Amino acid sequence: MGSSVVVVLSGRQQLHRLKDQLAALTPAPIRLVAIGESETDLASVDELNPAIARRRRQRGMATWLMPFGFFAGLTFTYITDLDTFAFAGPIGSHLIGGLLGLGSGLMGSFAAAASVTSEVDDRVRALRNRLEEGNWLLLVETATGVDIPWTRLQEAKPQSVVRLNEG
């Protein structure tokens, strides 16, 4: 993934004029998404939806926390030699401990992902406010190694340009 910026513009005509100019560039940005009243909805753009980012963080954390929790639960039942689950036999007791640890890792991934806010979330919140004020947004994403066309963006006289990530 390359670099991404969101350009805040005051009018719809200004938005479409800039979008057409950017599409005509060589190399053209790989993605141009107009966001506004009758354009694309803000929630449908992955980069600008905090719920999708949180879900992505949760899945990434679960990848590490669930196996770690399983082995921690398994190890704990071996170390303590508790007979909490004696009905399951010696192997089943340790396996149940591991599964409980796995579940704890899953719950931990949800809690950790929900408690983390990133700089991007703050920027997205500011962009949502701009959209609610009646402005228009243009998401510009370039390929890896291709610079954002800054001069073209500045010629459009945007209200602001918000950088989402660098590629």
- DSSP code string of 45-82: SGGG-HHHHHHHHHHHHHHHHHHHHHHHHHHHHHHH--
CB 70, CB 101: distance < 8 Å: yes
Q: Is the pLDDT of residue 119 over 80?
A: no
83-113 residue pLDDT tens: 788 898 888 999 999 999 999 999 999 888 8
Q: Is the pLDDT of residue 165 over 80?
A: no
Q: Is the pLDDT of residue 1 over 70?
A: no
Q: What is the pLDDT of residue 108?
A: 92
Q: What is the pLDDT of residue 59?
A: 92
**Which structure tokens are listed for 90?**
């010696």
Q: Is the pLDDT of residue 68 over 90?
A: yes
Q: Catalogue all structural domains in the chain, each as residue range(s) with its CATH number.
A: 4-37+134-165 (3.30.70), 50-115 (no CATH)
Q: What is the pLDDT of residue 107?
A: 94
23-to-4, 20, 30, 32, 130 alpha-carbon distances in Å: 15, 5, 9, 8, 24
Q: Does pTM surpass 0.95?
A: no
Would you put residue 153 in left (φ > 0), alpha (ψ -120 to 50) or beta? alpha
User: Averaged over 130-135, what is the pLDDT?
Assistant: 85
Q: Is the pLDDT of residue 159 over 80?
A: yes
16-64 residue pLDDT tens: 888 888 888 888 888 888 887 767 777 777 777 777 778 888 999 999 9
Question: From CA 146, how far away is CA 68, in angstroms rounded?
Answer: 39
Q: What is the pLDDT of residue 57?
A: 84
Question: From CA 9, how far away is CA 85, in angstroms rounded?
Answer: 63
How confident is the prediction for the chain on average, in pLDDT? 85
Q: What is the pLDDT of residue 2?
A: 74
